[in-house]
Amino acid sequence: MANSDGRNIIPQPQSSPAVVPLGPVASVDLSFLPEPERKALLADHARKVLDIGATAQKLHLDVNVLRATLDQLAHTTREVSESGNAVTITHTSTTNIGRTEIKLGNTEEARSGRLTSSQTGERNWTPIYIFVGIAAIVLIAFLFAGRH
């Protein structure tokens, strides 16, 4: 941008910065690098800063959704309990921030705080064990039948 006599009002940078901030305190001196390498590093640094910002926004969104869900579940539990009914609410959620498992209510089951194995995400291996056991029995039967 120029003023009335043609001089630049906003100074234009002549070269890439020689120091890159890595956080509130730390920085790296890049003055020893040639200009093209400094520009490439700064461009890469800017992309990564944007990626971190995008990830932070996703996590913030997940936290807000979880907070709203927990508030709604707590409100519903409170309403049902105040009306004199027994209530147990379980909820599991897996998001970018991790897995959240909750149990709310006024029953003994809710007070125990224990979730079933399916609610905690554990896989039920019993059918697989049964199938492997049957396959082993059939294999052993064929081996004995082949010898006699």
pLDDT tens digits, residue range 52-82? 999 999 999 999 999 999 999 999 999 998 9
- Give residue 26's pLDDT: 77
pLDDT at residue 11 tops 60: no
- The model carries a pTM of 0.54
pLDDT band, residue 14 (cuts 50/70/90): low
Q: Is residue 96 part of a domain?
A: yes
Position 127 in a domain:
no
Specify whether the CB–CB gap between 20 and 30 falls below 8 A: yes
Residue 46 lies in a domain: yes
**Contact 28/20 with Cβ under 8 angstroms?**
yes
- Whether 1 is covered by a domain: the verdict is no
Selection from 103, 102, 104, 100 nearest residue 77 by Cα: 104
Q: Is residue 82 part of a domain?
A: yes
Across the chain, mean pLDDT equals 82
Where in the sequence is the domain holding 113, given as residue range(s)? 19-122
Please say if the pLDDT value at position 8 is more than 80.
no
User: What are 81-98's pLDDT values in tens digits?
Assistant: 899 999 988 888 888 888
CB proximity list for 117: less than 8 A, separation 6 or greater = 124
Residue 47 resides in a domain: yes
CA pair distance 100, 73, nearest whole angstrom: 13
Maximum CA extent, the chain:
110
Q: Based on the structure, what is the number of domains in the chain?
A: 1
Give the tokens for residue 58: 């996703």
- CB contact set of 35 (below 8 Å; sequence gap of 6+): 15, 16
